[in-house]
Chain A
Amino acid sequence: MDLCNCIDPPWSADDLLMKYQYISDFFIALAYFSIPLELIYFVKKSAVFPYRWVLVQFGAFIVLCGATHLINLWTFSMHSKTVAVVMTIAKVCTAVVSCATALMLVHIIPDLLSVKTRELFLKNKAAELDREMGIIRTQEETGRHVRMLTHEIRSTLDRHTILNTTLVELGRTLALEECALWMPTRTGLELQLSHVLCHQNHVPYTVTIKHPNVNQVFSTNRAIGIPPTSPIAMIRPRSGKIMTGDVVAVRVPLLHLSNFHMNDWPEPSKRQYALMVLMLPSDSARRWHLHELELVEVVADQVAVALSHAAILEESMRARDLLMEQNVALDLARQEAETAIRARNDFLAVMNHEMRTPMHAIIALSSLLQETDLTPEQRSMVETILKSSNLLATLMNDVLDLSRLEDGSLELNIRKFNLLAMFREVHNLVKPIASVKRLSVSMTLAPDLPQYAVGDDKRLMQIVLNVVGNAVKFSREGSILVTAQLERPEALRDSRVPDFYPVQGDFHFYLRVQVKDSGLGINPQDIPKLFNKFVQSDVMTTRNYGGTGLGLAICKRFVNLMEGHIWLESEGLGKGSTAIFIVKLGIPDPRNELDHQIAFPIQSNSNHTDFSGLKVLVTDDNGVNRMVTRGLLARLGCDVTVVSSGRECLQAISQAGQNFKVLFLDVCMPEMDGFAVAAHIQEMIPHQHERPLLVALTGSTDKATRENCFKVGMDDVLLKPVALEKMRSVLAKLLEHGSQCKSR
């Protein structure tokens, strides 16, 4: 309350007090006005302050307070009523606002306080997240290290590089003190220290596989901690206190090549493992974290795969080296075989001619000698010579035949022959020899056997003779039964001859011949060997019965050539034996049987090109030559006309309706020779496609003659005398070539 003081004291003590109050009020007002300004200024600066309304209130409160104090200044002296009213209003307002503000603050201050707590909370959270980020980053880095390590390991196929890289990288990534690898020894009963990261010592430590720690590690695929005192962790020589950090071990499966061949994975007991030991540094308080253990397990698996790859590669390189060696050896063997074959062929070539010639001479002359008058001694000597030389000739022929058979160069001479007559001949040949040994030979021919057949009769007879001969040779007494019959293909599907597939057909039949004897018999075990070369039942047989052992081998090959089968049956020694063979023979063309007057025989077995009906004209002044050439061409099936001079030839050509396809012209003829004839023909028939083919026949080997023939327009030149095959091939070539010419 103001004291209405009407007295004006001149600076008394009261005045002093009032002055101080005056000044203080002034400053208070100043401050009170400046605070809101500051507030406004700073709030305007910060955009986030949420309590603007409160500020406004506060500002109003302060402003009014300031106003009050300001107005107070005027109340120190005498003042009018208006001032008092203003003062009162100001004070009332101030009171209202300040009460409101006080009330507001009750709500606001707890909020403001909680902001602080939230801030603290968030700060903590942020710190935690930072920590976790750090952990994740380290994990990611280790992951990267693992990938890199895997890549390194997998990029090499050398076992040692793989293992060393593993240890080095693991050591780096996990900051290990020591890292080691124990591999199983050859026996599989011990583990041997094979790779160590830091401490290289050359003394091989071994640990038995039965150690409980080892079993523990091998029993699971996780990495497990092991006590540092375990022998597998004792990698360094002891030096004072054993203070190593945590040790962890993990198994590394060693996959062998054989593992990949099985359909399902092998049981764990069969697997071999290596052991990897990792030691943390002893001077840090680190412990093994889960993610590090996982990393170790992953690495162990990768190492296993990489090692298996390396193993596979080693194996395949070894196999390849082996194969190369074998290839070289095979090549050598092949070369040697080829040399041997060449040598044999050379030998055969020599033997063929050089040995046969004198042989034949000996035989021929000895037989001629036999015909002359001789004393009995001389006769017996000559007979011996003949017999021995025949034997020798047979042997030579046999060997040569066999070689040719094996080469595949032997061909059957297929022709029509009298089948029944052949059997009769065999019978006649064998009877005398058999009767000497007091053996009876009976031959039974089935009534449905055809009289004529088409095949190689010489060789068929050879087969029959050989088989019957064997029967006679190996029988001391008793009888020999020979039967020949037609064989039905159904009957041929015998379980005993599984490889033989006879085919039914209209143009061939199967002949079955069976020779049964009551002789020595054969041991069933020996039967398969009998058809081998140079083999007889046993040594005694050879000594007693002689022979080369080639007979059956040759027979078998002939029978095979005739698309047949031959085999022997015997119930045992002393029980006789039966030889059976089946061969395929052709059925002869019925036309040939009936008409012998056919001038141009149609071949029932044309094996090469068929010239049947080909019209040819032969011009030769030599009658003998004409006949021979005609016979030759007729044999090939041509329709042959012969003339004896060039003039007749031209006459025949100029006849209307002539259609000779080939002309054979003898070069040397009196009056008009082959050249002149050819020239005339060229003039007469200028178009090549209308002209017949011209073939020159000459006895001269002169090159000039040959050239002249071609110059004058001949299509070919033949050297007299002409062989059948040569004629055939020349005709074939000409007809082919001729048709090519004409088609142009």
Chain B
Amino acid sequence: MATVDLQQQHNNLINFLYEEGFLDEQYTQLEQLQDESSPRFVEEVLSLFFDDSLKLLHNIETTLNKEPVDYRKLDAHLHHFKGSSSSVGAQRVKNVCITFRAFCQEKKKNGCLQCLQQVKQEYYLLKNKFEDLFQIERQILRAGGTIGGTN
């Protein structure tokens, strides 16, 4: 019984994330790669992403705050960030990265700062949501169900 509830919650959350544009089809691909041999694949990838992105954000902030701003380095960081976010399907983060990069190429510091705030916001939002999601998943597994079960 509990499993059903939890799974319902899980599905609702996932649907919500899709609808709100937090996630795109790439996330579905990731889900497909998860099976009995790598049951926590998605969680592992996303954890890596969050850790990696945290470091990256830190680096970006440092680069922006230094005078003069090394835009080439910034672009490299952003390229990295964009790549990672698109690999995991973090759509909103990726989109902000693209905007951020545009500002970076035009060397508009204000735009960059604005984007930095935005991307940090998106990052934390997504991270929180996924923390909830992973918690539900762990609960489901403890209760003996399977993730991606029935609707």
Contact = CB atoms under 8 A, between A and B. Distances in A.
Q: Do A and B come from one complex?
A: yes
Interface stretch (B22-30, B58-66, B102-110, B113-121): B22-30
Contact of B76 (A360, A461, A670): A670
A628 interface: yes
B87 interface: yes
B87 A622 contact: yes
A651 B36 CA distance: 34
A721 B150 contact: no
7 contacts: A428-B1, A601-B38, A625-B83, A631-B41, A631-B45, A699-B79, A721-B29
A627 interface: yes
B69 interface: no
B145 to A, nearest CB: 7
Interface size class of B (residues with CB under 8 A): 35 or more
Given A421-B145, A624-B87, A723-B25, A416 B36 contact: yes
A418 interface: yes
Contact of A458 (B12, B15, B150): B150
A364 B150 contact: no
A367 B19 CA distance: 14
Contacts of B39: 596
Given A364-B16, A428-B1, A625-B87, 19 more contacts: A360-B18, A363-B15, A368-B16, A415-B35, A418-B146, A425-B4, A457-B150, A458-B151, A599-B37, A601-B37, A622-B83, A623-B48, A624-B45, A624-B49, A670-B76, A723-B25, A723-B26, A724-B29, A724-B32
Interface string B34-55: 0111110100110011001000
A196 B82 CA distance: 102
B33 interface: yes
Interface of A: 357, 360-361, 363-365, 367-368, 415-418, 421-422, 425, 428-429, 457-458, 461, 592, 596, 598-601, 621-625, 627-629, 631-632, 634-635, 668, 670, 699, 720-721, 723-724
Contacts of A425: 3-4, 149-150
Contacts of B41: 631
B21 to A, nearest CB: 11
Contact of B19 (A361, A599, A724): A361
A364 B16 CA distance: 6
B112 interface: no
A635 B48 CA distance: 19
A421 B89 CA distance: 31
B132 to A, nearest CB: 12
Given A364-B15, A699-B82, A628 B32 contact: no
B124 to A, nearest CB: 18
B45 A596 contact: no
Given A425-B4, A425-B150, A624 B48 contact: yes
A422 B144 CA distance: 12
A598 B26 contact: no
Nearest to B27: A721
Contact of B33 (A421, A598, A668, A724): A724
Contacts of A629: 87
Contacts of B3: 425
Given A367-B12, A622-B80, A628-B87, A360 B19 contact: yes
Contact of A429 (B4, B19, B145): B4
Contact of A622 (B16, B84, B89, B151): B84
Give the one of B3, B4, B29, B35 with max A CB within 10 A: B29
A45 B13 CA distance: 146
B88 A624 contact: yes
A723 B52 CA distance: 22
Those 10 A-B pairs whose CB atoms lie nearest each other, nearest first:
A601-B37, A624-B84, A631-B33, A364-B16, A628-B87, A721-B26, A364-B15, A624-B49, A367-B12, A625-B87
A341 to B, nearest CB: 28
A600 to B, nearest CB: 8
Contact of A721 (B12, B18, B86, B149): B86
Contacts of A461: 150
Interface in B66-103: 76, 79-80, 82-84, 86-89
A425 B149 CA distance: 10
A37 B63 CA distance: 169
B29 A601 contact: no
B85 to A, nearest CB: 8
Given A628-B30, A670-B76, A721-B87, A598 B145 contact: no
A428 B36 contact: no
Contacts of B89: 721
A368 B3 CA distance: 18
B86 A720 contact: yes
A161 B89 CA distance: 86
